[in-house]
A and B are shown apart, each in its own frame.
Chain A
């Protein structure tokens, strides 16, 4: 079954802790993206990667970090520097920045 997987679906962390969200795709897509979704805010781009070992900051990269060591994987770390990390995080991939994006099921992060 081809697609994008994100784990876990729900994640709870204490304030001040770093947390890493997983994103894996088996669609053989070059491009991968991380979005944050808050109520009424739409999708805000955190980081994106067009190719392995390269990634770029999106609109709200502060307090986040990523890596792209493999084509299939694009993990996102929410660091303690992120002031308001509680949100719904969506990972997506596409074969081209111009084409449709395939989204994973998302991870709902709650920081207590």
Chain B
């Protein structure tokens, strides 16, 4: 079946270092969405990318959608302790009925 995979599963960085998480889908996606879940919290929507090759920035966060619309990445520049959490990517299933979530990348940051 359709799958969305994320790597790495865990990443630990020193504060100030950069961080990247990668998302790959087994099928072409109409859009890709990114969510952040803080420890003990619930997922919160960050952004949606729709166009092939699209790049969007939110302050220190840069999101990319691949040319083939099957992969995406989230890059954080100069991480801060407030970036700690699990980052999920998600894309609509082929039937257009629900989102398929990746298993997430958990980021920890030490100061």
Contacts and interface: CB of A to CB of B under 8 A. Distances in A.
A42 B43 contact: no
A99 interface: yes
Interface size class of A (residues with CB under 8 A): 20 to 34
Of the listed residues A43, A58, A90, the one surrounded by the most CB atoms of chain B closer than 10 A to its CB is A43
Interface in B48-85: 48
Nearest to B46: A100
Given A40-B9, A42-B103, A90-B43, A100 B98 contact: no
Contacts, number: 47
A98 to B, nearest CB: 5
Interface string B1-41: 00000000100000000000000000000110100000001
B88 A42 contact: yes
A56 B99 contact: no
B43 A43 contact: yes
A84 to B, nearest CB: 18
A50 B98 CA distance: 9
A103 B43 contact: yes
Nearest to B48: A100
14 contacts: A33-B98, A42-B101, A42-B102, A42-B103, A42-B104, A43-B43, A43-B101, A48-B98, A58-B98, A90-B42, A97-B99, A100-B33, A101-B43, A103-B42
